[in-house]
Amino acid sequence: MRVGDTLPPLEIEITRTLIVAGAIASRDYQDVHHDAELARQKGSPDIFMNILTTNGLVGRYITDRFGPRSVLRRVAIRLGAPNYPGDTMVLTGTVEEVEGDTATVRVVGANGIGRHVTGTVTVTVPGADGADGASGTEGTEGAEGAAARGAGSRP
Protein backbone atom coordinates (compact mmCIF):
# COMPACT_ATOMS: atom_id res chain seq x y z
CA MET A 1 0.00 0.00 0.00
CA ARG A 2 1.46 3.27 -1.19
CA VAL A 3 0.32 6.87 -1.40
CA GLY A 4 -1.58 7.34 -4.64
CA ASP A 5 -2.74 3.71 -4.91
CA THR A 6 -6.34 3.49 -6.08
CA LEU A 7 -8.72 0.84 -4.82
CA PRO A 8 -10.93 -1.10 -7.23
CA PRO A 9 -14.45 0.34 -7.33
CA LEU A 10 -17.39 -1.32 -5.59
CA GLU A 11 -20.85 -1.05 -7.15
CA ILE A 12 -23.76 -1.31 -4.74
CA GLU A 13 -27.32 -1.56 -6.01
CA ILE A 14 -29.55 0.65 -3.91
CA THR A 15 -32.69 -1.36 -3.26
CA ARG A 16 -35.64 -0.69 -1.00
CA THR A 17 -34.64 -3.74 0.98
CA LEU A 18 -31.10 -2.42 1.53
CA ILE A 19 -32.40 0.99 2.65
CA VAL A 20 -35.04 -0.42 5.02
CA ALA A 21 -32.82 -3.20 6.39
CA GLY A 22 -30.01 -0.71 7.06
CA ALA A 23 -32.39 1.61 8.89
CA ILE A 24 -33.79 -1.24 10.99
CA ALA A 25 -30.34 -2.66 11.76
CA SER A 26 -29.18 0.74 12.99
CA ARG A 27 -32.45 1.35 14.86
CA ASP A 28 -33.22 4.42 12.79
CA TYR A 29 -36.99 4.37 12.55
CA GLN A 30 -37.38 7.73 10.80
CA ASP A 31 -40.24 7.33 8.33
CA VAL A 32 -38.17 8.75 5.44
CA HIS A 33 -36.13 5.53 5.50
CA HIS A 34 -39.07 3.10 5.17
CA ASP A 35 -42.34 4.81 4.20
CA ALA A 36 -42.37 6.18 0.64
CA GLU A 37 -45.64 8.08 1.05
CA LEU A 38 -44.50 9.89 4.20
CA ALA A 39 -41.12 10.59 2.60
CA ARG A 40 -42.95 12.24 -0.34
CA GLN A 41 -45.11 14.27 2.06
CA LYS A 42 -41.85 15.59 3.55
CA GLY A 43 -40.53 16.63 0.13
CA SER A 44 -38.42 13.63 -0.87
CA PRO A 45 -39.23 11.74 -4.08
CA ASP A 46 -38.86 8.41 -2.24
CA ILE A 47 -37.29 6.78 0.82
CA PHE A 48 -33.54 7.26 1.13
CA MET A 49 -30.56 5.61 2.82
CA ASN A 50 -29.52 6.74 6.30
CA ILE A 51 -25.99 7.78 7.24
CA LEU A 52 -25.40 4.73 9.44
CA THR A 53 -25.99 2.38 6.51
CA THR A 54 -23.66 4.47 4.37
CA ASN A 55 -21.04 4.37 7.14
CA GLY A 56 -21.28 0.57 7.24
CA LEU A 57 -20.95 0.30 3.46
CA VAL A 58 -17.87 2.54 3.48
CA GLY A 59 -16.37 0.31 6.18
CA ARG A 60 -17.21 -2.79 4.16
CA TYR A 61 -15.56 -1.26 1.09
CA ILE A 62 -12.30 -0.70 2.95
CA THR A 63 -12.21 -4.06 4.75
CA ASP A 64 -13.10 -5.93 1.53
CA ARG A 65 -10.20 -4.21 -0.23
CA PHE A 66 -7.60 -4.52 2.56
CA GLY A 67 -8.54 -8.00 3.75
CA PRO A 68 -10.00 -9.72 6.81
CA ARG A 69 -7.14 -8.67 9.12
CA SER A 70 -7.72 -4.97 8.47
CA VAL A 71 -8.98 -2.84 11.35
CA LEU A 72 -10.89 0.40 10.88
CA ARG A 73 -9.39 3.09 13.12
CA ARG A 74 -11.41 6.11 12.02
CA VAL A 75 -14.25 6.72 9.59
CA ALA A 76 -15.15 10.35 8.86
CA ILE A 77 -17.83 10.83 6.20
CA ARG A 78 -20.13 13.54 4.91
CA LEU A 79 -23.33 12.92 2.97
CA GLY A 80 -24.35 14.69 -0.21
CA ALA A 81 -26.86 13.46 -2.80
CA PRO A 82 -29.32 10.93 -1.33
CA ASN A 83 -29.25 7.23 -2.23
CA TYR A 84 -32.70 6.39 -3.58
CA PRO A 85 -34.04 2.95 -4.56
CA GLY A 86 -33.22 1.93 -8.11
CA ASP A 87 -29.88 3.73 -8.25
CA THR A 88 -26.36 2.34 -7.97
CA MET A 89 -23.66 3.78 -5.73
CA VAL A 90 -20.07 3.31 -6.85
CA LEU A 91 -17.47 3.55 -4.10
CA THR A 92 -13.90 4.46 -5.04
CA GLY A 93 -10.84 5.10 -2.91
CA THR A 94 -7.35 6.56 -3.07
CA VAL A 95 -4.60 6.07 -0.49
CA GLU A 96 -3.64 9.55 0.76
CA GLU A 97 -1.20 8.72 3.53
CA VAL A 98 0.72 5.70 4.78
CA GLU A 99 2.55 5.39 8.08
CA GLY A 100 3.84 1.89 8.84
CA ASP A 101 0.89 -0.49 8.60
CA THR A 102 -1.73 2.28 8.77
CA ALA A 103 -3.20 4.09 5.79
CA THR A 104 -5.63 6.94 5.30
CA VAL A 105 -7.91 6.42 2.32
CA ARG A 106 -10.04 9.11 0.65
CA VAL A 107 -13.40 7.51 -0.23
CA VAL A 108 -16.06 8.80 -2.62
CA GLY A 109 -19.42 7.17 -3.25
CA ALA A 110 -21.27 8.50 -6.29
CA ASN A 111 -24.74 7.71 -7.60
CA GLY A 112 -26.79 8.88 -10.58
CA ILE A 113 -27.45 12.33 -9.13
CA GLY A 114 -24.04 13.13 -7.66
CA ARG A 115 -21.73 12.36 -4.78
CA HIS A 116 -23.57 10.52 -2.03
CA VAL A 117 -20.65 10.26 0.38
CA THR A 118 -17.15 11.68 0.71
CA GLY A 119 -14.68 11.17 3.50
CA THR A 120 -11.62 9.47 4.84
CA VAL A 121 -11.01 6.13 6.48
CA THR A 122 -7.96 5.28 8.55
CA VAL A 123 -7.22 1.56 8.43
CA THR A 124 -4.51 -0.59 9.97
CA VAL A 125 -3.41 -3.70 8.11
CA PRO A 126 -1.16 -5.82 10.34
CA GLY A 127 1.95 -6.74 8.39
CA ALA A 128 1.34 -4.23 5.60
CA ASP A 129 4.59 -2.47 6.44
CA GLY A 130 6.42 -5.69 5.57
CA ALA A 131 7.27 -6.62 9.16
CA ASP A 132 5.84 -10.12 8.81
CA GLY A 133 6.07 -10.40 5.03
CA ALA A 134 2.33 -10.08 4.51
CA SER A 135 0.76 -7.75 2.01
CA GLY A 136 -2.16 -5.58 3.04
CA THR A 137 -4.02 -6.12 -0.21
CA GLU A 138 -3.82 -9.90 -0.45
CA GLY A 139 -6.47 -12.22 0.86
CA THR A 140 -9.38 -9.89 0.28
CA GLU A 141 -12.72 -11.44 0.98
CA GLY A 142 -15.81 -11.16 -1.14
CA ALA A 143 -19.17 -9.66 -0.27
CA GLU A 144 -20.25 -12.95 1.31
CA GLY A 145 -17.46 -12.72 3.89
CA ALA A 146 -18.27 -9.12 4.66
CA ALA A 147 -21.97 -9.96 4.99
CA ALA A 148 -21.20 -12.86 7.33
CA ARG A 149 -18.99 -10.59 9.42
CA GLY A 150 -21.50 -7.72 9.31
CA ALA A 151 -20.82 -4.53 7.39
CA GLY A 152 -19.11 -1.96 9.55
CA SER A 153 -19.16 -4.07 12.70
CA ARG A 154 -15.41 -4.22 13.25
CA PRO A 155 -13.85 -2.23 16.08
The 10s digit of each residue's pLDDT in 37-92 is 999 999 999 999 999 999 999 999 999 999 999 999 999 999 999 999 999 999 99
Percent of the chain residues topping a pLDDT of 90: 80
Q: Which is more confident, 134 or 7?
A: 7
CB distance 5 to 97 below 8 Å: no
Average confidence (pLDDT) over 137-155? 36
CA atoms within 13 A on the CB side of 78: 6
What CA–CA distance (Å, rounded) separates 62 from 94? 11
- d(CA 74, CA 63) in angstroms, rounded, equals 13
- Predicted local distance difference test score (pLDDT) of residue 108: 98
Please indicate whether residue 151 or residue 17 has the higher confidence score (pLDDT): 17
Find, among 121, 133, 59, the residue nearest to 94 by Cα: 121
pLDDT of 152 > 50? The answer is: no
- Average the pLDDT over 83-104 and give the result: 97
